[in-house]
Amino acid sequence: MKLHISSAGAGLRWIRRGARTFWRQPLGLTGVFVLFMAGVSLLTWLPVLGLPLAMVALPGLTLGLMAATREADEGRFPGPMILLTAFRRGPAQTRSMALLGACYAIGFLTAVGLSWLADGGGFARVYLGGTLPDAQAASAPGFQLALLVFLLIHLPVSLMFWHAPALVHWHGMPALKSVFFSMVACLRNLRALLLFGLGWMLVMLLALMAVALLAALPGLGWLGNLFLPVMLVLAAMFFCSLYFTYRDTFRSETSGEAPPP
Q: Which of 149, 55, 147, 66 is nearest to 108 (CA)?
A: 55
Average predicted confidence (pLDDT) for the chain? 90
- pLDDT for 255: 39
pLDDT per residue over 156-213, tens digit each?
999 999 999 999 999 999 999 999 999 999 999 999 999 999 999 999 999 989 988 9
| pLDDT tens per residue across span 91-123 | 999 999 999 999 999 999 999 999 998 888 888
Neighbours of 49 (CB within 10 A): 10
Percent of the chain residues topping a pLDDT of 70: 94
- In this structure, are residues 251 and 1 in contact, taking their beta carbons and an 8 Å threshold? yes
Cβ distance 120 to 142 under 8 Å?
A: yes
Write the CB contacts of 25 (distance below 8 Å, at least 6 apart in sequence): 71, 72, 77, 78
Contacts of 171 by beta carbon, 8 Å cutoff, 6+ apart: 1, 178, 250, 259
More confident residue, 236 or 218: 236
CA distance to 40, 52, 62, 96, 172, per residue, from 57 (Å): 8, 9, 9, 12, 18
pLDDT tens for 60-101 read 999 999 999 999 999 999 999 999 999 998 899 999 999 999
Whole-number pLDDT of residue 253 = 57
CA 171 to chain centre: 20
DSSP state of 258: P
User: For residue 251, what is the enclosing H or E element?
Assistant: strand 250-251
Q: Dihedral through CA 236, CA 237, CA 243, CA 244, nearest 10?
A: 180
**What pairs with residue 250 in β-bridges?**
3
79: alpha, beta or left? (left if phi > 0; alpha if psi -120 to 50) = beta
Across the range 218-241, mean pLDDT stands at 89
What confidence score (pLDDT) does residue 130 get?
A: 66
Q: What's the CA gap between 84 and 194, in Å, rounded?
A: 29
Residue 131: pLDDT band with limits 50, 70, 90? low
pLDDT at residue 252 is higher than 80: no
- What DSSP line would sit under 171-192, residue for residue? H---HHHHHHHHHHHHHHTHHH
DSSP code, position 48: T
Given a cut of 90, is residue 125 above it in pLDDT? no
CA 137, chain centre distance (Å): 27
From CA 133, how far away is CA 122, in angstroms rounded? 9
Q: Domain residues of the chain, as ranges? A: 2-251
